[in-house]
A and B are shown apart, each in its own frame.
Chain A
Amino acid sequence: MSTYGRGLRGLSLATIATISLALALVFFYAPLDADQGFIQKIFYIHVPLAIVSLCGFIFGGVLAVGHLRTDDRRWDMRSYVAIHMALIFGVGALITGSIWAKASWGHWWVWNEPTLVSFLIVVLLFATYQPLRFAIEDPMLQARYASVFAVVAGAFVPLNFIAVRLAQQYVHPRVLTLTGGNLPGSMRLTFLISLLGITLLYVTLWKYEMAAKNARMQVRRLRRTLLGDDAAPAYGRSAAPS
Chain B
Amino acid sequence: MSLVLAAPALPLHSAGKYVAGAYIVFVALILIYVAIMARRLNRTERDLAELRREVEATQAHEDPDRDLTGAAR
* CB atoms of A96 and B7 under 8 A apart: no
The prevalent SS among residues of A at the interface is helix
Q: A100 CA to B21 CA in the complex, in Å?
A: 10
* CB atoms of B48 and A219 under 8 A apart: yes
Chain A residue at minimal CB-CB distance from B57: A227
What residues of A have a CB within 8 angstroms of the CB of B60 in the complex?
A: none
What residues of A have a CB within 8 angstroms of the CB of B37 in the complex?
A: 208-209, 212
Q: How many residues from B make CB contacts under 8 Å with A?
A: 31
Q: A80 CA to B6 CA in the complex, in Å?
A: 45
Q: For residues 168 through 218 of chain A, which have their beta carbon under 8 Å from a beta carbon of chain B? A: 201, 205, 208-209, 212, 215-216
A92 partner, pick from B3, B19, B26, B43, beta carbons under 8 A: B26
Number of residue pairs across A and B with beta carbons under 8 Å? 84
Q: A208 CA to B37 CA in the complex, in Å?
A: 8
* CB atoms of B29 and A91 under 8 A apart: yes
* CB atoms of A103 and B18 under 8 A apart: yes
What residues of A have a CB within 8 angstroms of the CB of B73 in the complex?
A: none
What residues of B have a CB within 8 angstroms of the CB of A212 in the complex?
A: 37, 40-41, 44
Does B72 interact with chain A (Cβ within 8 Å)? Answer: no
Contact with A along B5-30 (1 / 0, CB 8 A): 01111110101101101110110011
Q: A208 CA to B47 CA in the complex, in Å?
A: 19
* CB atoms of B18 and A39 under 8 A apart: yes
* CB atoms of A27 and B18 under 8 A apart: no
Q: For residues 30 through 83 of chain A, which have their beta carbon under 8 Å from a beta carbon of chain B? A: 30-32, 37-39, 41-42, 45-46, 49
* CB atoms of B51 and A39 under 8 A apart: no
- The distance from the CB of A205 to the nearest CB of chain B, in whole angstroms, is 7
Chosen A-B contacts, 5 in total, with CB atoms closer than 8 Å, are: A31-B8, A45-B22, A103-B18, A209-B37, A223-B51
Which residues of A pack against B, CB within 8 Å?
26-28, 30-32, 37-39, 41-42, 45-46, 49, 88, 91-92, 95-96, 99-100, 102-103, 201, 205, 208-209, 212, 215-216, 219, 222-223, 226-227, 231
**Nearest 6 A-B pairs (CB), nearest first?**
A103-B18, A38-B15, A96-B22, A42-B22, A39-B15, A99-B22
Which residues of B pack against A, CB within 8 Å?
3, 6-11, 13, 15-16, 18-19, 21-23, 25-26, 29-30, 33, 37, 40-41, 43-44, 47-48, 51, 54-55, 58
